[in-house]
Structure 1
Amino acid sequence: MKIRLILPLLLLSIPFAALCQEKPSGKSKDHLSAVAEKALIKVSIMYPYEEGKTFDMEYYQAKHMPMVAEFLGSNLVKYTIEKGLGSGIPNQPLPYMAIGTFYVKSLEEYQAAIGPKRDAIRADFANYTRIAPVILISEIIR
């Protein structure tokens, strides 16, 4: 019985304001702003739909994208693979058969990692498609 009474009394003895205060992080507002301003880089590899062309999604997912992801190392935050299903406008052709996206921390590190491996990456295209990709590099704003 005594134990049950002690905990509520102990909690009541702690000032409410102390419970509601945020703990200092040790980081200045300027530091936090600088971190927030540093955005991720998004590399989108888009494969436009072309009549009569094919795309081997299984190979792309199991072999190609993991190979490129390995080249990127610790700079890679994540990658995604999308399979095109339709156009945003009814009865219009599919704009892209597939889109692969890499999210990286540094554009410079991405370019340094991909540059020496470019020929190997391009040579692997033939294993899953004959479509020339459109590549867009962008900065994530939000």
Structure 2
Amino acid sequence: MKLSLIASTLLVITCFASFGQDKQSAKAKKPSTAVEKGLVKVSVMYPFAEGNTFNMEYYETKHMPMVAAFLGSNLVKYTIEKGLASGIPNQPLPYMAIGTFYVKSLSDYQAAIAPNRDAIRADFVNYTNAAPLILVSEVVK
């Protein structure tokens, strides 16, 4: 009886120890969301204004994947942001959405976009009636 109680206790302890290690391993394997210094960041910002529209589902499932495919191996990652509010209380939302591409090389980005510019622009009507503002910058931290 004592032997089976000891064996059961050891089994429970082993299970809990193993569970804790699995959770720690999962945390250790989680990919970093940090962006490397020196990458080029291309922000495509869609301004909010009365009458402007934006179809987030189309943008997320069709437009951004299409542009990402044009960028190929130069693309490190891309993000999509949905505007919620202004940073100043009682002020209008500045942007409905922002799409951001992080790429290794600006010249490779430009070379990939140039022959596809018309296709990218032609797709705008499928998700927005707003003219985007584009900022190209370098990640410094």
TM-score bracket, shorter-length normalisation? 0.7 to 0.9
Aligned residue in 1 for 2:124: 125
Q: Secondary structure at the match of 1:44?
A: strand
Q: Per-residue deviation at 1:38? A: 6.7
Provide the rounded CA distance (Å) in 2 between the counterparts of 1:115 and 1:93: 34
- Alignment identity in percent? 78
Give the residue type in structure 1 aligned to 2:54.
F
Aligned residue in 2 for 1:115: 114
Q: Secondary structure at the match of 2:89?
A: coil
Provide the rounded CA distance (Å) in 2 between the counterparts of 1:72 and 1:84: 25
Distance 1:116 1:90, change over 3 A: same
Give the residue type in structure 2 aligned to 1:75.
N
Aligned residue in 2 for 1:62: 61
Q: Secondary structure at the match of 1:126?
A: helix
Aligned residue in 1 for 2:25: none
Give the residue type in structure 2 aligned to 1:44.
S
Give the residue type in structure 2 aligned to 1:72.
L
Q: Secondary structure at the match of 2:60?
A: helix
Does 2:37 align with 1:41? no
Distance 1:38 1:83, change over 3 A: closer
Q: Secondary structure at the match of 2:126?
A: coil
Q: CA RMSD in A?
A: 1.2
Q: Secondary structure at the match of 1:69?
A: helix
Provide the rounded CA distance (Å) in 1 between the counterparts of 2:133 and 2:37: 26
* Structure 2 residues not aligned, in runs of 5+: 1-35
TM-score (norm 2): 0.74
Give the residue type in structure 1 aligned to 2:71.
L
* Structure 1 residues not aligned, in runs of 5+: 1-36
Q: Per-residue deviation at 1:50? A: 1.2
Larger radius of gyration: 1
Give the residue type in structure 2 aligned to 1:43.
V
Q: Per-residue deviation at 1:95? A: 0.2
Moved over 6 A (4+): none
Give the residue type in structure 2 aligned to 1:114.
I
Provide the rounded CA distance (Å) in 1 between the counterparts of 2:100 and 2:94: 16
